[in-house]
Amino acid sequence: MNVTHLECALCGLEHKAQSLHNLCTKCGKPLLVRYDLARAAKELKKESLTSRRADLWRYREVLPVADDANIVSLGEGWTPLLHAAQLGRRMEMNRLYIKDESLNPTQSFKARGMATAVSMAKELGVRKLAVPSAGNAAGALAAYAARAGMEAFIFMPRDTPRANVVECERTGAHVTLMDGLITDCGAEVGRRKDAEAWFDVSTLKEPYRVEGKKTLGYELAEQLNWELPDVIIYPTGGGTGLIGMWKAFDEMEQMGWIGPQRPRMVTVQASGCAPIVTALAEGKRFADEFPNAHTAASGLRVPRAIGDFLIIDAIKASGGTAVAVSDEELIAAVTEIGAAEGVFCAPEGAACLPALRKLIADGKVQRDERVVLFNTGSGIKYLEAFS
């Protein structure tokens, strides 16, 4: 195993590897996993990848599990990067791509993070896992916990799409629906976890979900033959995927796989819940809680993100930006992408398209640039949104 330690993303305090952690013991911010990358690079070579398993564990040396026996897998990752030719024609762009995460187990990119988090929980002897979720993370946790033989305790807003609730129940989780938002669900987990002996796997409140999500960055580089795109457009709630990709790019550079160039990272949020867009516009590194959060893109209904500063740092360092789109725009985009490319997107993923239109109109993206839209989940989970 190549993990050396965990490091607080804000104050830098080191925490011991291979023991249970939630947030930094000094400042309460997220911990990130650090590796001996020189050592990892000896085994993990670009050329060696061609013969490896077609899931995220192909990047084994930069993933945290020590013992292979603890890997809990349902075949997550290694999803297609689709050239969107017809949609591109409509946009007058010939280098437009969709990274289609709806092909993951439980039909969303949340499978990546839960695969690594549950594997590490297994390795560290955890029996009971708890999570507040907008829906897709819950479905993923329920499935991986079942696969690992662990118990999952799930807290979701009462108006979470029904598919997410049913899938959790059918995969054996204990489901509690709450009046309120994901932040209220998170507070409930926080209140009860010690008494119930639950390990809290909330977004960025444990260090390993982001490790699974970072493989999005590794895959993108590998699928584009180690030349990163010009622009990444990513629907952002808690921001794990964006933070993870940014981390992956640094790791790959340290291993000598890529140079210093980075894609411009663009956060897309719904206009009914856009804390990162607001913070960026106001020049803040830490976002205020977004009042009266509402959107049909339930995964974007995250009024406060503990990793806000990491999202904002990555956007700024990359020369990117943050864009808000309306629910009308993102729901219409589900049909537009579906009809043009045959990908039935989650509303969150579809939001990337109206965001791209705004970026082009504002001169922030050029039509000849290589742009990747992240479809983070499947529209099949959101039937209520299309009625």
Ligand X SMILES: Cc1ncc(COP(=O)(O)O)c(C=O)c1O
Residues that bind ligand X (CB under 6 A): 108, 110, 134, 136-137, 203, 235-241, 299, 346, 348, 376-377
Binding at 377: pick from ligand X, Zn ion, none (beta carbon under 5-8 Å per type)? ligand X
Kindly tell me which of 12 and 259 has the beta carbon lying closer to Zn ion: 12
Position 335, amino acid:
T
Kindly tell me which of 134 and 365 has the beta carbon lying closer to ligand X: 134
Binding at 27: pick from Zn ion, ligand X, none (beta carbon under 5-8 Å per type)? Zn ion
The least CB distance from residue 286 to Zn ion, in Å, is: 14
The least CB distance from residue 20 to Zn ion, in Å, is: 17
Binding at 295: pick from Zn ion, ligand X, none (beta carbon under 5-8 Å per type)? none
What does DSSP say about strands 81-83 and 96-100: parallel, antiparallel, or unpaired? antiparallel
Place of tokens 């974007």: 300
CA distance 72 to 69: 8
Kindly tell me which of 15 and 301 has the beta carbon lying closer to Zn ion: 15
The least CB distance from residue 279 to Zn ion, in Å, is: 20
Contact 185, 157 (CB under 8 A): yes
How crowded is residue 86: how many other Cβ atoms within 10 Å of its Cβ? 14
> How many residues can be counted in the chain?
387
The C-alpha R_g of the chain, in whole angstroms, comes to 19
Contact 213, 241 (CB under 8 A): yes
The least CB distance from residue 46 to ligand X, in Å, is: 27
CA distance 386 to 379: 9
DSSP of 13-82, one letter per residue? -EE-TTS---S-TTT---EEEEE-HHHHHHH--GGGGGGS-SSGGGGGGGS--SSGGG---SS-----EE
Beta-carbon contacts of 331 under 8 Å, excluding residues fewer than 6 positions away, are 296, 347, 350, 385, 386
Q: Which of 242, 168, 165, 146 is nearest to 203 (CA)?
A: 242
Kindly tell me which of 79 and 240 has the beta carbon lying closer to ligand X: 240
Binding at 20: pick from Zn ion, ligand X, none (beta carbon under 5-8 Å per type)? none
Kindly tell me which of 17 and 182 has the beta carbon lying closer to ligand X: 182
- Interface ranges with Zn ion (CB under 5 A): 8, 10-11, 13, 24, 26-27, 29
By beta carbon distance, the residue nearest ligand X is 299
Binding at 235: pick from ligand X, Zn ion, none (beta carbon under 5-8 Å per type)? ligand X
Binding at 203: pick from ligand X, Zn ion, none (beta carbon under 5-8 Å per type)? ligand X
What does DSSP say about strands 96-100 and 371-375: parallel, antiparallel, or unpaired? parallel
Kindly tell me which of 22 and 236 has the beta carbon lying closer to ligand X: 236
Kindly tell me which of 29 and 264 has the beta carbon lying closer to Zn ion: 29
Beta-carbon contacts of 93 under 8 Å, excluding residues fewer than 6 positions away, are 367, 368, 369, 371
Binding at 11: pick from Zn ion, ligand X, none (beta carbon under 5-8 Å per type)? Zn ion
The least CB distance from residue 203 to ligand X, in Å, is: 5
The least CB distance from residue 209 to ligand X, in Å, is: 9
The least CB distance from residue 26 to ligand X, in Å, is: 25
